[in-house]
């Protein structure tokens, strides 16, 4: 029998299935129209069910950050898995080589150390692991900056038996196209990538795959010459940060936390049963108000303080608009990937009915 | 066969069992010497195993925040469970009444609405649920401030069949005794509590239990007249925030995240395989440097930036001191309760050997 959404206990994660499907369709159509391969990052949903919806819409493969996530995602019908992370150590290399027997695996790396370890395990397992070398085009995280060291690394990978160099990966997570510096950052990215591609061309190195893309830059991808593939993750659900970065509108936010008002203070606030262990303490990006989410149902409400199980919502003097104890509110989180990672189950809702509930199978797979 | 700690894959949570036991012993001895009942909050460890170590050292009961945590903790030998949270709704009240058949349950609440709901379910189950009314002594979260409304609530609870009013709960989570305002905040707390107790006395209301206590105020508890019980949680493991608040020293920090260096940049930083999905993004309290943890092994290292699976450690120009790819580092988190909540397993270590691994059984029990 179908469960009414009002019968779910709180706090709980709700996904508006119409919005989810629209988000998936929009990105898939954009990628197709732009001639870009879509290899979505599954870190946002961590669910083989949502991954299968992405594959059904033409995703050429899936992206993960951890070997444990690759194990969860390596199901039937998955064309390809990219581990966008410099996997280290015999335990993880051996696990990855086992996965690569069933599903083609690509690893992004930025050091000869990781390449050599992977190559040993690939040869031992009698398989080939594909490799993208990671370029740092401004993120200052992993990756080598454009220049000779990056070329040397790619050459090193091409020389290693057990690996197949396929090109370049970068992550433009530092770029917010809606900020005043955004157009300049995008311009810098284009010229940096041009330099890398020119270096690779001059050295005869493979750049069959040039993989970039984040949700904020998603719909700018066609303006980046040389890009062949994008890896957005957050676009499936979106969140308050994506709205702030103008990557989407509120009506594209598919996931909300339903919470119950458990305490109301005449002194100007109410408390909901969703705190940092339900929402995560990630701030909005870029942080504009120090709040921890957008309370959809209550005009003027500011979720300005949290403890682990308490969310404190300031009403700025308008207690006449505050809900009463026992009423439910819906909160769009600042960073939906971090929120989903707090939970075991997500409920997919359409027209007030829970149509499907799925396990966050990749939650906690930090290894 | 015993596992060597170096055989564990990363990232992983390690607990130094000697330190844990010393932390438990110290708090138990203090409570005993001060004539205070210790009812530790289990939100930090979320583990029946650690709870049993607390009970073995004289804890009079356990504190939880959620009904789901109460279910996890309601094991054999647990003398009493305090749900320090205004539990709302028929589903949760019914679950709680079932638990209360096996273990005495106390609920802290701040509204007649919650009291009445609980009373209905207690009567239906033929049991009695004990109640503490929550006073707000400066935290500005749940609770009623000292005054007539608080007295009225306690009187209302005393009149309800199915409930037994036992006294007062407050949470002094706003007080950092080591800050410049700390002594003043403690003084204000003492006078506010005195007023509440005088009101209760004048009205003939039960104040058999007066429950306060947090880890930062733990060893100040004997200076608060009228207090009968303390509920510290974090003291079992401690963390970087507790060190910053002078509630402990580094050598009292029992839990660390072991992480592997996966990328090193000549430009001045290295990257570990522990980001916000391993450490949580909670900041130090009070925030002094915007860092996300203390890297124990590397002098001068600043964990200044995180993404979900990446921790970026700035070396401030001292790359000669940076570890190499594949080396391991240990990180003491900002807020250990939030960190533990990210993980399924914790490893108890003594002398380089994993002596016991336990499940974080209460993780994710947000309902």
CATH class of the domain at B18-236? alpha beta
Mean of the pLDDT values across residues A80-103?
97
Query: Is there a shared CATH topology between the A18-236 domain and the A250-359 domain?
Result: no
Contact flag A263-B308 (C-beta cutoff 8 Å): no
Instruction: Say yes or no to pLDDT of A313 above 70.
Output: yes
Does the ipTM surpass 0.95? yes
**In degrees, to the nearest 5, what angle opens at C-alpha A169 toward C-alphas A197 and B271?**
125
How many helices (H) does chain A have, and how many strands (E)? Answer: 10, 18
Within 10 Å of residue A180's Cβ, how many Cβ atoms?
A: 7
CATH topology of domain A250-359: Lyase, Ornithine Decarboxylase; Chain A, domain 1 (2.40.37)
Cα distances (Å, whole numbers) of residue B157 to A337, B78, B114, B163, B171: 42, 25, 10, 7, 20
Band (pLDDT 50/70/90 cuts) for residue B1 is low
Q: Contact, B220 vs B186, CB < 8 A? A: yes
Question: Rg for chain A (alpha carbons), in Å?
Answer: 22
The region of weakest confidence among A184-188, B74-78, B85-89, B275-279 is: B74-78
Can you state the angle between helices B148-159 and B182-202, rounded to 10 degrees? 50
Instruction: Say yes or no to pLDDT of B162 above 70.
Output: yes
Q: Which pLDDT tens digit goes with each residue over B196-240?
A: 999 999 999 999 999 998 999 999 999 999 999 999 999 999 999
Residue B77: DSSP 8-state: T
Q: Which pLDDT tens digit goes with each residue over A286-295?
A: 998 999 999 9
Which residues does B105 contact at the CB level (< 8 Å), separation at least 6? B70, B80, B81, B82, B83, B96, B99, B129, B130
Q: Is the model's pTM score more than 0.90?
A: yes
Q: Which residues numbered 147-186 in A keep a CB inside 8 Å of some CB on B?
A: 173
Residue of B109, B171, B366, B367 to mutate, testing the A interface (most A Cβ within 10 Å of its Cβ): B366
Beta bridge partners of B264: B270
Band (pLDDT 50/70/90 cuts) for residue B316 is confident
Within 10 Å of residue A3's Cβ, how many Cβ atoms?
A: 13
Looking at the partner chain, which of B145, B263, B342 has a beta carbon nearest the beta carbon of A86?
Answer: B263
Q: Domain-by-domain residue ranges, chain B?
A: 18-236, 250-359
Residues of chain A in contact with residue B113, where contact means CB-CB under 8 angstroms, are: 325-326
Task: Flag whether residue A325 sits within 8 Å of chain B, measured between CB atoms.
Answer: yes
Task: Flag whether residue A314 sits within 8 Å of chain B, measured between CB atoms.
Answer: no
Nearest residue in B to A268, CA atom: B140
Task: Flag whether residue B46 sits within 8 Å of chain A, measured between CB atoms.
Answer: no
pLDDT, residue A2, reads 73
Strand ranges, E, within chain A: 3-4, 12-16, 37-38, 62-64, 81-83, 105-109, 129-134, 163-169, 209-212, 229-230, 255-265, 269-272, 293-295, 302-306, 311-314, 328-333, 345-350, 353-359
Cα atoms found within 13 Å of the Cα of residue A324, Cβ hemisphere only: 3
Residues of chain A in contact with residue B338, where contact means CB-CB under 8 angstroms, are: 276-277, 281, 308
**Residues A55, B336: Cα–Cα separation, whole Å:** 38
Q: Mind telling me how many Å the CA of A227 is from chain B's nearest CA?
A: 24
pLDDT, residue B76, reads 84
pLDDT, residue A1, reads 60
Mean of the pLDDT values across residues A107-112?
98
Task: Flag whether residue B309 sits within 8 Å of chain A, measured between CB atoms.
Answer: yes
pLDDT, residue A76, reads 84
How many helices (H) does chain B have, and how many strands (E)? Answer: 10, 18
Q: What is the mean pLDDT of chain B?
A: 97
Beta bridge partners of B12: B258
């Amino acid at each position: 029998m179908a469960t009414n959404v009002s019968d779910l206990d709180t706090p709980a994660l709700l996904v508006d299935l119409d919005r989810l499907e629209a988000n998936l369709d929009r990105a898939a159509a954009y990628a197709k129209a732009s001639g870009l391969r879509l290899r979505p990052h599954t870190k946002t949903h961590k669910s083989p069910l949502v991954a299968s919806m992405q594959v059904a819409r033409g995703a050429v493969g899936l992206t993960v950050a951890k070997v444990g996530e690759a194990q969860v995602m390596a199901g039937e019908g998955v064309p390809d898995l990219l581990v966008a992370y410099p996997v280290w150590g015999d335990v993880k290399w051996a696990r990855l080589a086992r996965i690569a027997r069933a599903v083609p695996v690509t690893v992004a790396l930025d050091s000869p150390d990781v390449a050599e370890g992977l190559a040993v395990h690939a040869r031992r397992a009698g398989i080939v692991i594909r490799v993208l070398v990671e370029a740092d085009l401004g993120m200052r995280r992993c990756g080598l900056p454009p220049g000779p060291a990056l070329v040397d690394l790619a050459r090193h990978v091409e020389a290693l038996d057990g690996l197949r160099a396929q090109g370049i990966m970068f992550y433009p997570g530092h770029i917010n196209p809606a900020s005043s510096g955004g157009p300049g950052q995008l311009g810098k990215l284009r010229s940096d990538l041009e330099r890398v591609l020119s270096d690779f061309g001059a050295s005869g190195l493979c750049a069959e795959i040039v993989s970039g893309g984040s949700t904020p830059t998603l719909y700018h991808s066609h303006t980046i010459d040389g890009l062949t593939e994008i890896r957005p993750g957050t676009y499936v659900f979106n969140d308050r940060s994506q709205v702030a970065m103008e990557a989407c509108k509120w009506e594209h936010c598919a996931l909300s936390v339903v919470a119950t008002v458990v305490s109301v203070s005449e002194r100007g606030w109410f408390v909901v049963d969703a705190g940092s262990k339900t929402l995560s303490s990630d701030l909005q990006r870029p942080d504009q108000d120090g709040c921890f989410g957008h309370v959809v149902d209550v005009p003027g409400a500011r979720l300005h303080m949290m403890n682990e199980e308490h969310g404190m919502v300031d009403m700025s003097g308008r207690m006449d608009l505050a809900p009463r104890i026992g009423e439910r509110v819906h909160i769009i989180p600042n960073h939906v990937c971090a929120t989903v990672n707090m939970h075991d189950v997500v409920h997919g809702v359409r027209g007030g009915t829970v149509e499907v509930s799925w396990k966050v199978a990749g939650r906690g797979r930090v290894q």
